[in-house]
Amino acid sequence: MNSDVLIIGAGLAGLSCASTLESSGISYLVLEASDMTGGRVRTDHVNGFLLDRGFQVFSTAYPEAQRQLDYSALKLHHFSPGAVIRFGGKWHRMLDPFRHPFSALEGLLTPIGTFSDKCLVAKFRHRALSGTIPEVFSRQETSTLRYLQDFGFSASMIERFFRPFLGGVFLDRELKTSSRMAEFIFRMFASGDTSLPSEGMGAISQQLCSRLPPEKIRTQARVTSIHKTTVILESGESLTAHGIVVATEGPVTGELIPSLNPPPYGHATTLYFSAPETPFKGPYLLLNGEGVGPINNLCVLSQVAPTYSKNSQQLLSVSVLNRLGQSESDLESEVRRQLKDWFGTQEKDWQHLHTSTITAAQPKQIVPFSNPYSFQPNFQNGTFVCGDFCATGTIDGALYSGRRAGKEICDWLER
């Protein structure tokens, strides 16, 4: 035996599993197909900017993240609670009245929804915060769209706020995502700070990785098949262990374990631009409430976390949904036309830095969506599975799933 456990994949789930085994004294080896750890939670350094692998944010309210991460070491920078919404050719601030009480009147006067809608937000917030998180995932469910409609929100509130906001979170503008996830995400935004680490989202992966001995992680070690307790690498090398943990994204897991049926994944495209001046001041998430054009949401990252720009330029992140088949040049041209409409001629001075397309960005979490906190051992013949699709399609879900798989395999090895 090469080690007690082989972990396939060094994303958050794999690193979380490895941390659990490390603290339990179980020998393991992590096999990562790419040249770096972190999976989808990585940050690239490009021309003095920090570019995350797609637009991502971190919630300090994530329960598993609170358990596993050192927030002070991440040096978090926070978004302003709420959002700024584009509608009717203008920008409208709609901030959380519970954290920005002096902005409550401004929010009431915006054309984003009715007065009744704004009262319902408080009721929605109360419901999302009530009970335990496992209880939230045990509630009766429907699609997010039907849930919002049944809750009493007007069509204008759904189209101008919830569709771009939750659609961007779930990569699902049709809002087919389970209402359980909608309540969970709203709970996270309402009870914690939405943040960016000082050195990019990849700092989360790096923090987990720094706790592991370097010799226990092999990069550029792509696994092509699993045969009971043996894995075969692309190089032809075979490795054997008592147990195997598959901690890859859903589509890859489905290839390695054909009997498994992971959910389909949504894709996301993010365009990064540098600008000599910020088009919008403040640490805000900007939403497209008009429902036209390719842009779903936009953020001046350097206004949230100045460390994302190591020079005097501003860094913009533009998120686009459902444009996977479009060429990068055509998409950039279409995005620029919308940016010019929103911000005027200053757009011509913006330099395109990079386009990041993640084809398997997040698992689709449609009805029926099972309670991720119900204990459901997921293994067969000594092969265990973890990943965000085994819990929630979030950073927290990946961390939780990895730790749970680590605990399960420890218990299994001790039998």
CATH for 340: 3.90.660.50
Residue 87 within any structural domain of the chain: no
Residue 159 within any structural domain of the chain: yes
Confidence of residue 379 (pLDDT cuts 50, 70, 90): low
Rounded mean pLDDT of 118-137?
93
Residue 244 within any structural domain of the chain: yes
Last residue of a domain, one of 363, 379, 399: 363
Last residue of a domain, one of 149, 172, 192: 192
pLDDT of residue 119: 87
Q: Which residue, chain included where needed, has tokens 């969970």?
A: 184
Residue spans of beta strands (DSSP E) within 281-322: 285-288, 295-300, 314-320
Say yes or no: 353 and 369 in one domain. Answer: no
Say yes or no: 244 and 375 in one domain. Answer: yes
Mean pLDDT of the chain: 93
Say yes or no: 161 and 109 in one domain. Answer: yes
Residue 69 within any structural domain of the chain: no
Residue 64 within any structural domain of the chain: no
Say yes or no: 175 and 308 in one domain. Answer: no
| Count of domains forming the chain | 3
Say yes or no: 343 and 299 in one domain. Answer: yes
pLDDT of residue 108: 57
Alpha-carbon dihedral sign for residues 231, 237, 238, 241: negative
Say yes or no: 277 and 333 in one domain. Answer: yes
Say yes or no: 381 and 240 in one domain. Answer: yes
Regarding predicted confidence, which is higher, 105 or 381? 381
Say yes or no: 316 and 259 in one domain. Answer: no
Say yes or no: 257 and 374 in one domain. Answer: yes
| Contacts of residue 344, Cβ cutoff 8 Å, sequence gap at least 6 | none
Rounded mean pLDDT of 101-125?
77
Structural domain including 129 reads: 94-192
pLDDT of residue 104: 53
3-class secondary-structure state, position 50: strand
Residue 340 within any structural domain of the chain: yes
What is the rounded CA–CA span in Å between residue 133 and residue 316? 34
Last residue of a domain, one of 363, 380, 403: 363
Residue 94 DSSP code: E
Query: Taking 60 as the threshold, does the pLDDT of residue 105 lie above it?
Result: no
What is the rounded CA–CA span in Å between residue 238 and residue 236? 6
Residue 80 within any structural domain of the chain: no
pLDDT of residue 106: 58
Say yes or no: 376 and 357 in one domain. Answer: no
| H-helix or E-strand spanning residue 404 | helix 395-413
Q: Could you tell me the CATH number of the domain that includes residue 395?
A: 3.50.50.60
Phi, psi of 125 (to 5 degrees): -60, -45
Say yes or no: 359 and 370 in one domain. Answer: no
Residue 342 within any structural domain of the chain: yes
Quote the pTM value. Answer: 0.95
Say yes or no: 294 and 162 in one domain. Answer: no
